[in-house]
Chain A
């Protein structure tokens, strides 16, 4: 594990201080005070979070107060009825959310699993013609072209095989788009796991697959979680393919549902805000829960070579 540690005194390895201290010292040298740093961070925070704040508060306003000038910064007369109103006016929105959850969960599971196994294969096996080096790049290269280029052929193919307006079709497309990222992300993590750990596990009685599940996967858990978060966010928010490939209510996902509030004649601001706020909750929850696992994974101890 820690082969490069200083064993001359046979003491436990020395832990480097975090980089924050160095940054702090350098800023102090430049005469930047704490107040200035916090002020800058504060501006950045407002800049990032204000749109979210505006969206959430919009759900509690009436159409008049939302569009009033000067704007009403804090909704004084909270209209919680807006939430009930969305489902009353657009009952199919429940289906959209269900569709999104199914598509996202299935895509995340498939993409992360396939991505992880592919990445492990590239890292730990030798293929002829140096393919273990070249193939990952070719896999990533499928993402080089603008996605819109593939939409028309995909639509034609999907219509031919009956995948238009189905969740299966969406899952297929999203899995295809997420696997390259999952492979690349996981590859880096697997490369950090010393080969001798797998060999040791095999000598201790595991098959190679057993060693992968019992020894390697627990060690790359942070990577698995990171790529799961990544896949979830991309899939949950995807609009372009969904809008073309899913046009009937049985396959429409949340982003398409949100877009449908913009019609030729009006924009349903309140309903749209309510729906968007509801759509925000699942990803946010997932990211928060997963983040704790992520931190725990990283602090578990270094996996050195």
Chain B
């Protein structure tokens, strides 16, 4: 049970920078998720903590003790690998008990703790099987068992669910969450799957290009993205970005000023008082689709519809040099390819991003917006 701290950690392989400057604190018992696209440095960040990769500079501390140059075996951490890394020449029992065997724990105690862990993971019947004869889900549980048996100070997981099929993923996900809560172990978990990250983590650490883009709760990163990258990365389908010009309360799309011309409410427009041009970010859910003409609406042509059950994803185009937008609408909306629809904005819920820095504009309004956004998504799902 410890607090993990990264202080200006950098890792470079020659000219290639894997992580540039990581400052991060994970509190005691917290479930932190490192989330980002492939190659963003999330696994390197995790491996630096495990001791499997030596940082080029910076320090990592566990409860104030500098562990940067300490061998992995002396860090009291456990790790679950993407490919499970089970020892193929040992049985399930030997695999789970192996960390205790290396630590010279007596055979009886080892036996007893292996049984306990197996019970916890509901695999007691597998204990005497060979690793080669296990399915993916079973191997995954054995890997978890081997990690928790030592009751480590920190628990590391590197995409542990990536090799499982969708259904198994969901059930293993909840199992991991329950396990982490019960054992109350500080956990760092790497994934590129935002759904997994949102459902598991207390704290999300969004990374891109070797740097942390935002740290926050799942709600915060969804509703108050720090910048355009986070806004586009979190949420499915992705947020729509439109470069707009502002004139008072009216905003027009730069590529299609005639088609995209809407008035914002006064307080929303006031957020962007210092920006005449910015990038507007609208989640697909925050457009309302009308099949007849509406006031203050954008006229659009339907390109594709993808039914999803109770809702549908609609791709539309607006303007002469078409701007493509993705919308999510209830499946009751009758929109077909080639037809015209009218879109209104839930302007309280849109974001504006600075064209040069990519940062979100209008920090001050975030609280009011989050309150409303949460209730809106709540009623939709």
A residues contacting B by CB (< 8 A) are 1-3, 5, 7-8, 10-13, 194, 196-197, 199-207, 210, 215, 218-219, 300-303, 305
Contacts and interface: CB of A to CB of B under 8 A. Distances in A.
Contact of A7 (B73, B133, B168): B168
Nearest to A204: B99
A7 B81 contact: no
A2 B139 CA distance: 9
A210 B103 CA distance: 13
A172 B146 CA distance: 45
How would you classify the secondary structure of chain A's contact residues: helix, strand, loop or mixed?
loop
Given A300-B88, A301-B130, A206 B73 contact: yes
Contacts of A197: 85, 87
Contacts of B73: 202-207
**Most interface-central of A196, A203, A206 (chain B CB within 10 A):** A203
A13 B134 CA distance: 7
B78 interface: yes
B85 A12 contact: no
A143 B267 CA distance: 82
B87 A12 contact: no
A71 B137 CA distance: 68
Contact of A202 (B71, B131, B132): B71
B89 A219 contact: yes
Nearest to A126: B13
Interface of B: 50-52, 71-73, 75, 77-79, 81-89, 98-99, 102-103, 130-139, 146, 150, 163-165, 168
A256 B247 CA distance: 101
A10 B172 CA distance: 13
Q: Which 6 A-B pairs have the closest CB atoms?
A: A301-B132, A7-B136, A205-B102, A200-B85, A196-B85, A204-B99
Given A1-B131, A3-B163, A12-B133, A202 B52 contact: yes
A199 to B, nearest CB: 5
Given A10-B136, A11-B135, A301-B132, A1 B102 contact: no
Contacts of A205: 73, 99, 102-103
A12 B135 contact: yes
A229 B78 CA distance: 40
Given A10-B135, A202-B72, A203-B73, A303 B88 contact: yes
B88 A219 contact: yes
Contacts of A203: 50-52, 72-73, 75, 77-79
A157 to B, nearest CB: 42
B128 to A, nearest CB: 15
Contacts of B99: 204-205
A196 B47 CA distance: 11
Given A1-B139, A204-B98, A215-B87, A301 B131 contact: yes
A1 B51 CA distance: 22
A301 to B, nearest CB: 3
Nearest to B149: A204
A12 B134 contact: yes
A1 B86 contact: yes
| Most A CB within 10 A of own CB, among B71, B87, B98 | B87
A305 B88 contact: no
Contacts of A300: 88-89, 132
B84 to A, nearest CB: 7
A153 B130 CA distance: 55
A7 B164 contact: yes
Contacts of B82: 3, 196
Given A203-B78, A204-B73, 12 more contacts: A7-B165, A10-B135, A10-B136, A194-B83, A194-B85, A199-B72, A200-B79, A203-B77, A300-B88, A301-B88, A301-B132, A302-B132
A12 B134 CA distance: 5
A12 B83 CA distance: 16
B84 A1 contact: yes
Given A199-B52, A199-B85, A207 B71 contact: yes
A125 to B, nearest CB: 13
Nearest to A302: B132
Contact of B168 (A10, A13, A199): A10
A302 B135 contact: no
A205 B72 CA distance: 7
A196 B143 CA distance: 12
Contacts of A8: 165
Given A215-B87, A301-B88, A204 B102 contact: yes
